[in-house]
Every structure is written in C-alpha cells, then in structure tokens.
Amino acid sequence: MDTLPSDLLLVIDVQNDFCPGGTLAVADGDAVVPMINRLAQRFAHVVLTQDWHPAGHSSFATSHPDAAPFQTITMDYGPQTLWPDHCVQGSAGAAFHPQLAIERAELIIRKGFRREIDSYSAFYENDRHTPTGLAGYLRERGLKRIFLVGLATDYCVHYSAVDARRLGFETVVIEAGCRAIDLAGSLASAWTSMRDAGVQRLADLS
Ligand code: VGL
Ligand code: ZN
C-alpha cells in the first residue's frame, strides 16, 4: 500500500510505563517499537502522543481511598477506570521507549495533564468534549488520513481512532503496530466500536 503526502502516522503512547517493566505494562508492548520505526519511514508526516499525568492524577487508584487499580468509578464526566500510577510528568516511565527512533516526528501531543480529568484520546479528554488541539493542527496542515499504531489498542488507540472518525478524518488502525491491555473483554469491544465508527482495521501495511 502506498501512502500519500496528506497521510499521517499517529503513534500513541509508546512509553516505558506501557512496556514490560513499566507500571502499567501492556503484554509484549515493546514489540511494537521496531515495527513502528520501520512504518514511520513510509510516512511523510509522523505525530507522537505522550500520556503525561501530574503526580496524584485522578485516574490513579492511589488518589482514591479504598479504590484498587483496574476498578471503574464514576467521575463527574462519566465512568473512569482507575490505573496504577503511570506516566508521571518528567519520570523515566513517561519517557518514550529508548528504541523508538522517530526524530522526524513533527509534533508531540501530551495528554492527561489536568489533574481532574483523564484523556485516552489524542483529540478529546475523557469528557469527550475538551479538545487537545490536535484536530485543528491536522486540518491546518492539510492532513486527511490518519494511520494509528501504539499502546494500548483498547484504550488510547481505540478512543483516538473513534474520535478521528467523528472529526471526519479517514482512519486506519494498523493492528501489527498495536498491543492491548484487554481488561474484561475491552479489546473485543474496542474493535466493535471502532468498526461501528467506520475505522478501517488493517493487519499490516504491506
Ligand atoms: C492508556 C490507560 C491509562 C493508554 C493511558 O495509553 O492506552 N491506558 N492511560
Ligand atoms: Zn494514563
């Protein structure tokens, strides 16, 4: 498959805390790194996202007395899964995987930096309403079709892909460049919701 000058590779959260040894490790998460490095060479434009929480973030189970990681609570913006502390601003866990070699990336978009609200999506925070600014950036740059890879398939990749469609971008998830958390069937339901939103699922970009 050929890529176009108006295509973008959007690399979601390839950070140490989501890789083996990290605090919210995704099984085999680091396997996406060489794959994404290779893929990136085929795109004229690459943008990275970075999960970037202040210490004491409201998505951390440790911020809620009596709560446990992976439990879901109700926040004023809706349900929120609670996570182990991860991707704390400036920490080693929040850094990109050391082998991720995409110096060419044109933008790094940080998300989840407000203490009181989480942001899975690269486009909107978890109230599904507060924009990160990425849509405006992509439109001003004339980028039309978004290929997504990264971590995790069922959370940040999923929410970003559905929002990209909602915003009118052609959207493709490259499965070989993603790995999932898969909490209580979340991976299967993520693929269903991506399909229903009109997201294309591509096994690989061969
Ligand atoms: C993510 C859970 C919490 C992700 C980020 O990148 O998928 N998941 N924060
Ligand atoms: Zn997070």
Say if pTM beats, i.e. exceeds, 0.95: yes
Is 13 among the catalytic positions? yes
User: Over the stretch 41-55, which tens digit does the pLDDT of each residue have?
Assistant: 999 999 999 999 999
Q: From the candidates 111, 118, 154, 178, give the one annotated as an active-site residue.
A: 111
Assigned token pair, 177? 């460049």
Q: From the candidates 7, 17, 154, 156, give the one annotated as an active-site residue.
A: 156
pLDDT score, position 60: 98
Give yes or no for a contact between 37 and 31, defined as CB atoms under 8 angstroms apart: no
Specify whether the backbone of 28 is left (phi greater than 0), alpha (psi in -120 to 50) or beta.
Answer: left
Query: Does the beta carbon of 159 lie inside 6 Å of ligand 1?
Result: no
CA 90 / ligand 1 centre spacing (Å): 17
Supply the residue whose CA is at minimum distance from atom 8 of ligand 1.
155
Is 156 among the catalytic positions? yes
Supply the residue whose CA is at minimum distance from atom 6 of ligand 1.
156
Supply the residue whose CA is at minimum distance from atom 4 of ligand 1.
156
Query: Does the beta carbon of 152 lie inside 6 Å of ligand 1?
Result: yes
Considering every ligand atom, which ligand is closest to the CA of 57? 2
Supply the residue whose CA is at minimum distance from atom 2 of ligand 1.
155
Q: For the chain, what percentages of helix, strand and coil (3-state, to nearest 5) are there?
A: 25, 25, 50
Query: Does the beta carbon of 83 lie inside 6 Å of ligand 1?
Result: yes
User: Over the stretch 66-93, which tens digit does the pLDDT of each residue have?
Assistant: 999 999 999 999 999 999 999 999 999 9
Query: Does the beta carbon of 156 lie inside 6 Å of ligand 1?
Result: yes
Give yes or no for a contact between 71 and 82, defined as CB atoms under 8 angstroms apart: yes
pLDDT surpassing 90 at residue 29: yes
pLDDT score, position 1: 86
37 pLDDT band, cuts 50/70/90, is very high
pLDDT score, position 119: 98
24 pLDDT band, cuts 50/70/90, is very high
CA 146 / ligand 2 centre spacing (Å): 22
> What mean pLDDT is predicted for residues 115-138?
97
